[in-house]
Structure 1
Amino acid sequence: MNCCVTGLQWGDEGKGKVVDILAEQCDVVVRFAGGANAGHTVIVNNQKFALHLMPSGAVRSDTACVIGNGVVFDPEIFLKELEGLEEKGFSFASRLFISENAHVVLSYHKLEDSLRESALGKNKIGTTNRGIGPCYADKIGRSFAVRVADFRSPEELKKKLNNIIEYKNKVFSAVYGAEPIDPEEVYQSCQTYSKKLGKYICNTTKYLHEAIASGKKVLFEGAQGALLDLDHGTFPFVTSSNASALGMSTGSGIPSSKVERFLGVVKAYTTRVGSGPFPTEQDNQTGQLIRDKGNEYGTTTGRPRRCGWFDGVAARYAAAIGGINELAVMHLDTLAGMEELKICPSYMLDGEETNFFPVDAGDLERAECVYETFAGWSEDLSEVKEYEKLPENAKRYIEALERITGVRVSMIGTGPRRDQIIYKNNG
């Protein structure tokens, strides 16, 4: 059975752990969107792996790893990840496939990202300065786009880079007063990337169709979360790609009809990094308690995450647009010890109650949460392995999440380790 795993919040939901667990049952894991701005943390045998571009299946020695065409590929960061994993004994000789159609993040994209954010000041979007937005902008603009396939034609690539950087330098100087970038330096970097990564470059869409036709099980791994989706998220405080399950097909070349299982990942509460509306945010002692207990600091940036109660309106919307038919609820253990818990099933907006998520940032800023309150539990959940052995109040909380989102819960995370997971039998 093929499966697509995506986050249903603003990212950082715990997708990496879920994918790592499910990868044991799959032959291929595919990243289909985003770039090195996404961070996945996987813990195996007490070793922590922070992955940004490499699919989470990388730590499974018999799992093929695919970088799909929808990813904006940062070869500098990817090589560091690849070499770091190889130093730990992982081999990728016959199990790594990088799409020739993936667009490439280069040094001038990162500079452009940083300069633009600095110039925007208090109006900045809150990017990770990894060059993701500028790379996607070049992809859409086409004229200045560099794809992985271009590494195969060094002379043509050199001409292309000279033209691109000549234009970019004019903008950097005139608009931002920045020093120019040396095109030869960028070209030489690309030559290095090509030599080290060339053997992995291929037509990944062809590979995936053949894998599925031969009966292999494929797992599609999303990055970030549906509420950051360029088209369906809280615009403009979103990422530059389709981070919901809707991005799977365009980012891999595989239609949704080939995938039976769409699993959405949520935390038992809600977090957000950077700017943007966040109705259930608790900018108080409750939020700080969740942040400290859940270690809520960004994998990619180290920034403290904003924390709040579970937003059922947002999660229900994200599940609906993505065709989600299962939920994985992570970090349930973080809520242990809190006397009272809250879930938001609806908003009050301009005097009217609504249970549909308004993606317009202005509307969302004005939304007031209507809460349902639940009794907490004091028991430590970190070693609980069976759903029936959870505290009654924890089970009531999970059942409320199912009722409010309209999606059954199949997995519950009770800690960072691979084995700290509960499978909920829904009959």
Structure 2
Amino acid sequence: MANIVVVGAQWGDEGKGKIVDLLTQSADVVARYQGGHNAGHTVKIKDKEFILHLIPSGILHKGKKCIIGNGVVVDPKALIEEMKGLKKKNISIGKRLFISGRAHVIMPYHNVLDGAHENSKGKKKIGTTGRGIGPAYADKMSRVGIRMADLLDPESFRKKLKTNLADVNFLLANKYKTKKLSVNKIYDEYMKYAEYLKPFITDTVVLVNDLMEKGKNVLFEGAQGTLLDIDHGTYPYVTSSNACSGGVCTGLGVGPKSIDGVVGIVKAYTTRVGSGPFPTELKDKLGERLRLDGGEYGATTGRPRRCGWLDLVSLKHTMRINGFTGLALTKLDVLDGLDKIKVCVAYKYMAPTNICSCSKKGKACRFTDFPQQVDVVEKCEPIYEEL
């Protein structure tokens, strides 16, 4: 099979879990390279349904090694609950799960800040899951984050926690008018998590590269979708990590030459959760039909997904970014019974001259490339071809 990346080519929820599960059968290792427990991969094996948020779905197959890379942000409580849930279903984790010591930790204050900041936006909410993902990545980039390896050094962990919480509590009290958090309470809680997770924390950069050098096949598992990528998505209505194939290199510490192929997962129609532009969205009974027939409700939050026609303009954009060597089309059966199927091939945009290249003000522009500005995407009208 060689080393393959599986990437969502839309706004997430494309059916990556099913494709990853199929490809896992030919892989030796499944490695997650970005995101957190805001992702939800649903996999069915012998009439049993498993929803995984952090642990790579390869864990459901005996003998497969699973890696949570440094690009992932880890909520220890959520991870432990997921591990215990698998054990209850007789899924042995044993010595098959490896967590990067460089992966950043989601702390309780990240969850509190996430919710408080989102609520303060009023009608301009992004639609975050409220699980602390964004604030954890923000701390990482601000170089004040706490990493999994820090949990193994109690003295260092307490020092960093105390420093961070002083700033956080000031913010909570003065900006968000909410109660402060306790250093001792968080410290005691996370030391328990550290004891449980200690056997699984290791240097995964060394591990994954050693495995590849030995000829092992690695399946790189992404979360969310490219249109939610922090750099290439519909910013600011995006996630906080690089969900594209390039995230593999930074999120796992592997060189680009190690990647042999990139499989893009595309749903036969398009869905999106939360706020943000969606040119092909169907707000009528047909959109509701797609939601019901496709079971379009979030595996993580249960929120109903917005549904619309397949958008080839955005797909062209994600193909460029990821360098797909193959595509997997999912949920085509959901469109069964429709008299006509529409596919968006371009956008129509009535633009002022300082935004688009049209020579005359008020002239409709035709875009076949995905616009950079979210304000432009929001005002684009789809141009369809019928099948």
Shorter-chain TM-score bucket reads over 0.9
Equivalent residue, structure 1, for 2:354: none
Q: What do the CA deviations read for 1:294-341 (whole angstroms, capped 9, x no partner)?
A: 010011111100000000111111011101110011111111111111
**TM-score (norm: length of structure 1):** 0.86
Task: Give the alignment of 1:185-204 within 5 angstroms.
Answer: 185-204=185-204
Q: How much has 1:60 moved relative to structure 2?
A: 0.8
Equivalent of 1:353, from 358, 363, 366? 366
Equivalent residue, structure 2, for 1:424: none
Q: How much has 1:229 moved relative to structure 2?
A: 0.4
Q: Secondary structure of the residue that 1:22 maps to in structure 2?
A: helix
Q: How much has 1:151 moved relative to structure 2?
A: 1.0
Q: How much has 1:347 moved relative to structure 2?
A: 1.1
Q: What do the CA deviations read for 1:64-121 (whole angstroms, capped 9, x no partner)?
A: 0100000001111111111110111111221111000000001110000000111111
Task: Give the alignment of 1:200-279 within 5 angstroms.
Answer: 200-279=200-279
Q: Which consecutive unaligned segments of at least 5 residues does structure 1 have?
A: 375-427
Q: How much has 1:359 moved relative to structure 2?
A: 3.2
One-letter identity of the residue aligned with 2:307: C
Q: How much has 1:217 moved relative to structure 2?
A: 0.1
Task: Give the alignment of 1:7-406 within 5 angstroms.
Answer: 7-142=8-143, 144-350=144-350, 351-374=364-387
Q: Secondary structure of the residue that 2:175 maps to in structure 1?
A: helix
Q: Secondary structure of the residue that 2:342 maps to in structure 1?
A: strand
Q: How much has 1:290 moved relative to structure 2?
A: 0.2
Q: What do the CA deviations read for 1:376-419 (whole angstroms, capped 9, x no partner)?
A: xxxxxxxxxxxxxxxxxxxxxxxxxxxxxxxxxxxxxxxxxxxx
Identity %: 46
In the alignment, the residues of structure 2 paired with residue 103 and residue 167 of structure 1 have an alpha-carbon distance, to the nearest angstrom, of 18
Stretch deviating more after TM superposition (353-362 or 302-311): 353-362
Q: What do the CA deviations read for 1:246-282 (whole angstroms, capped 9, x no partner)?
A: 2111101112211111000010000000000000000
Q: Secondary structure of the residue that 1:176 maps to in structure 2?
A: coil
One-letter identity of the residue aligned with 2:66: C
Q: Secondary structure of the residue that 2:318 maps to in structure 1?
A: helix
Q: Secondary structure of the residue that 1:146 maps to in structure 2?
A: coil
RMSD of equivalent CA atoms? 0.8
In the alignment, the residues of structure 1 paired with residue 26 and residue 372 of structure 2 have an alpha-carbon distance, to the nearest angstrom, of 36
The one of the two structures with greater contact order (alpha-carbon pairs below 8 A, sep at least 6) is 2
Runs (4+) of structure 1 exceeding 4 A deviation are none
**TM-score (norm: length of structure 2):** 0.95
Q: Secondary structure of the residue that 2:121 maps to in structure 1?
A: helix
One-letter identity of the residue aligned with 2:246: L
Stretch deviating more after TM superposition (345-354 or 41-50): 345-354
In the alignment, the residues of structure 1 paired with residue 256 and residue 336 of structure 2 have an alpha-carbon distance, to the nearest angstrom, of 38
Q: What do the CA deviations read for 1:144-169 (whole angstroms, capped 9, x no partner)?
A: 31000101110111111111112111
In the alignment, the residues of structure 1 paired with residue 371 and residue 59 of structure 2 have an alpha-carbon distance, to the nearest angstrom, of 37
One-letter identity of the residue aligned with 1:191: M
In the alignment, the residues of structure 2 paired with residue 5 and residue 360 of structure 1 have an alpha-carbon distance, to the nearest angstrom, of 27
Q: What do the CA deviations read for 1:229-250 (whole angstroms, capped 9, x no partner)?
A: 0000000100000011121111
Q: How much has 1:202 moved relative to structure 2?
A: 0.6
Q: Which consecutive unaligned segments of at least 5 residues does structure 2 have?
A: 351-363
Equivalenced residue count is 373
In the alignment, the residues of structure 1 paired with residue 82 and residue 329 of structure 2 have an alpha-carbon distance, to the nearest angstrom, of 28
Stretch deviating more after TM superposition (228-237 or 188-197): 188-197
Q: How much has 1:349 moved relative to structure 2?
A: 2.5
Q: What do the CA deviations read for 1:30-86 (whole angstroms, capped 9, x no partner)?
A: 000000111100011111111110111111121101000000011111111111101
In the alignment, the residues of structure 1 paired with residue 57 and residue 268 of structure 2 have an alpha-carbon distance, to the nearest angstrom, of 22
Q: What do the CA deviations read for 1:122-147 (whole angstroms, capped 9, x no partner)?
A: 111110000000000000011x3100
One-letter identity of the residue aligned with 1:331: K
Q: How much has 1:352 moved relative to structure 2?
A: 2.0
One-letter identity of the residue aligned with 2:271: T
In the alignment, the residues of structure 2 paired with residue 91 and residue 195 of structure 1 have an alpha-carbon distance, to the nearest angstrom, of 19
